[in-house]
Amino acid sequence: MSHDAFVFAPPATVSVPVVGQSVRFPVHRIYCVGRNYEEHAKEMGFTGREPPFFFLKPADSLVVVADGSTGTMPYPSLTANLHHEIELVVAIGKGGKNIKAADALQHIYGYAVGLDMTRRDLQNEMKKLGRPWCIGKAFDHSAPIGPITPLAKAGDVDKAEISLQVNGTDRQRSNVSKLIWNIAETIEHLSAGWELQPGDLIYTGTPEGVAAVVKGDVLTGEVAGLGQLKVQIN
């Protein structure tokens, strides 16, 4: 359909580069899992293994960072407490609904390193009021992401170390094996509530150590086998 068929030109498809390929991964939706590492749940004031819950970010909230480069994220409005959350991101290549954990792997295209940036003060305010906290999570530029590594090249992601440094100092360091709901279980739960589509991204949760960043800070996130994600706050 030509642009003449629309009131104005539709936005370009948001996409992420793929390691070792010239073609890109087109993004459909961004799902995020809340409180999916026990120690992070504790630091947020919760304990135990609760059923997984999900929130979404707009596809165009991605800050796509090419391999070997440093991306930039503007410090967002309305907040004085911008937090980092390093996450393993799962890229869905085959859609489906009510996917069983045992079958989940065949729906995965690959993995990436992501940051779920959070306006923590706004999120906490909304929580207290019992209101949705989209303003704390789903704002512009809130989802930096590195290139997607195809499944076959990703190694044993289920046991990969995950870490974040700010200006060269460790802030978060854990292992993907410590997920409360592992990747396959997350896909099972998520696909019971939404029909997953090729192009969906799942930010799988962050380990403990979340904290504030300020303008000028350089964040370096890593999941073993998936390379680094480097972002400067401007």
142-176 confidence digits (pLDDT tens): 999 999 999 999 999 999 999 999 999 999 999 99
The pTM of the whole model exceeds 0.85? yes
d(CA 60, CA 228): 21
d(CA 106, CA 83): 33
Burial of 25: CB neighbours in 10 Å, binned 0-12, 13-18, 19+: buried
- Per-residue CA distances from 207 to 100, 116, 210, 220, 226 (Å): 25, 12, 8, 15, 17
What are the structural domains, with CATH classification, of the chain? Answer: 16-233 (3.90.850.10)
Q: What is the pLDDT of residue 183?
A: 97
Rg (CA), the chain: 17
User: 170-221: per-residue pLDDT in tens?
Assistant: 999 999 999 999 999 999 999 999 999 999 999 999 999 999 999 999 999 9
d(CA 171, CA 20): 30
Q: What is the pLDDT of residue 45?
A: 77
Nearest Cα to 205, choosing from 27, 32, 22, 29? 32
